[in-house]
Amino acid sequence: MTYRAPVRDIAFSLRHAAGFDRLSGAFPDADAETVQAVLDGAGALAGDILAPLNRTGDLTGARLENGVVRTAPGFGEAYQQFAQGGWNSLAADPAHGGQGLPKSLEIGVFEMVHAANMALGLCPMLTLGAIEALAHHGSDRQKALYLPRLVSGAWTGTMNLTEPQAGSDLAAIATLATPDATGGWSITGQKIYITWGDHDVADNIVHLVLARTPDAPPGVKGISLFLAPKMLVDEDGSLGAANALRAGGLEHKLGIHGSPTCVMLFEGARAELVGELGKGLAHMFTMMNAARLQVGTQGVAIAERAYQQALAFSLERRQGRSAWTGENAARLFDHPDVRRTLMLMKARIEAARGVCLSTAVAADLATHGATEDERVAAKLREELLTPIAKAWSTDLGVEVASQGVQIHGGMGFVEETGAAQHYRDARIAPIYEGTNGIQAIDLIGRKLGLGEGQAIGDLMDDVRDTIDTLNAAGDPALGTIARRLETALDAASSATAWLIERRARAMPDALSGATAYLKLLGDVVGGWMLAKGALAASAAIAAGEGDAAWLGGKQALARLYAEAVLAQVPGQVAGVMIGAADFEATTPEMLGA
């Protein structure tokens, strides 16, 4: 099944859901023509170069031969086209060879990259995170030596956190960094689940590694961040001998087979400190937060890919009698339940796309806003939305991919159609870069208190402003969306107030409702995104601008989401407020252990 990049949908969401036009003053080069050209070019790369290799990567996978990781056929050539086209450098600082375009435009581009070939897209995704970490915390020498080569894509980057005894609990890592005789460091230890930890598509790999120093205190305060290249680098940037590190094995995974997930062995590898001793986890979070938004975008991307395949199949496959047309052997598309499922799939995709792009626009404004007040407010919005973008969007990706299999019926459960691959590939996204449970804990444990409640308060005020605008339009269809969104927002307000009160005196109660709250708030914010799109579509139709049928689809999706998703939000509040008493009293024996 071919992939057609949804360029028009992404451009619409960027502008009308995410508010991309607010960046015009900070990014004068990112005018409408430039944005369209970038999205069109990325769509062509995704559809023509990356997508045809997706199935090959799944069937062939990466392999470890004589200590070297070999990637799937065609991956190396495709990566080189990606790098040579400048796609790795879109949002990077021009001082290091970047194009200085908005992060939000880069996120729109990477949605297409991940949808076309999620396994291959993971390689530059991790490199972007390494660029962020070094740009914020690297020394001047490190920036000059490593950033231009990472930005160009000539070298790639990785993130080395997890160890066999330390999954998400990074306080338990044991990898050791000891001073060497040259003023540098020597790293010894094992890291697991290292995405693209070794490969053959670029000349060098820059590993960012969390490790302890010999006299470091226990816990997270004893963790520092180090840079250890696969090939040692001379001061002029030329490559020297191989460093004392290697891939000790490849993980055998449920999905993303084309992405080499490595067990990395550091055997006295030469390294250098990044930033300050003992601040490694804080420095690494710069990279992790960038990756979390990218992973949320992967949820949107894999959902889009699964949806496109399900839609195409529904137009080709003939089964049963249509309740509408009376036709025997009717297209699956002509059965009401199938069409409803497809529309809900698309509505959820567009809602999640809006959430991720809005998070990215907030990140752009947090750095480039015109005033300090604007930058502060945008940073609060970025931090509040990041766990929602990551967790809600990736859960949605799994759900939509599952629905894609369902529409295929038995054909979806066999590997030959490719629908199963999307479901398998999607399943990792709720796990890596901080499991979705951790995102929920972060949301209620830290993000609700941001700015003494200003972050969540401002968000709810903005949603209410959109409700007022919907009601003022005088359109009954928009009024329906407004009513459902308002009821859902009131429910979210009640759940939020309960959680804030419980955080102060009964944290187990708050934690017990964390995942339910993240879903509830994600459903509301997603509905807000679609509502803004419906308003823009209504205004364009009234003005006689654009494709009326396509714009009408935006209104229809927002109405369906309001009736099918937002209408259920009040019922979710009980799940948030369930409390911890029953969980505290539960023993392993009660659960059959």
**Residues with active-site annotation:** 433
Q: Is 100 helix (H, G, I), strand (E, B) or coil?
A: coil
Task: Look at the block and give the residue holding tokens 């859901």.
Answer: 17
β-bridge mates for residue 265, sequence order: 190, 246
- Whether residue 121 contacts residue 51, with contact meaning beta carbons closer than 8 Å, is answered with no
Longest alpha-carbon distance in the chain: 82
Q: Which helix (H) or strand (E) holds 205?
A: strand 204-212
DSSP string, 292-332: HHHHHHHHHHHHHHHHHHHHHHHHH-B-S--TTT--TT-BG
- Residue 213 phi/psi, 5-degree rounding, is -95, 160
Task: Give the relative orientation of helices 280-316 and 103-116 as an angle to the nearest 10 degrees.
Answer: 50
CA atoms within 13 Å, Cβ hemisphere of 222:
16
Task: Please list, in sequence order, all residues whose beta carbon lies within 8 angstroms of the beta carbon of residue 422, skipping any fewer than 6 positions away.
Answer: 302, 305, 306, 309, 401, 404, 405
Are 208 and 227 within 8 A, CB to CB? yes
Name the residue type at position 414. Answer: V
Q: What is the DSSP letter of 263?
A: E
Residue with tokens 């529309």: 343
- Tell me the one-letter amino acid at 21: D
CA distances from 27 to 30, 85, 138 (A): 5, 21, 25
How far is 340 from 220, CA to CA, in rounded Å? 49
CA-wise closest residue to 467 among 522, 519, 534, 518: 534
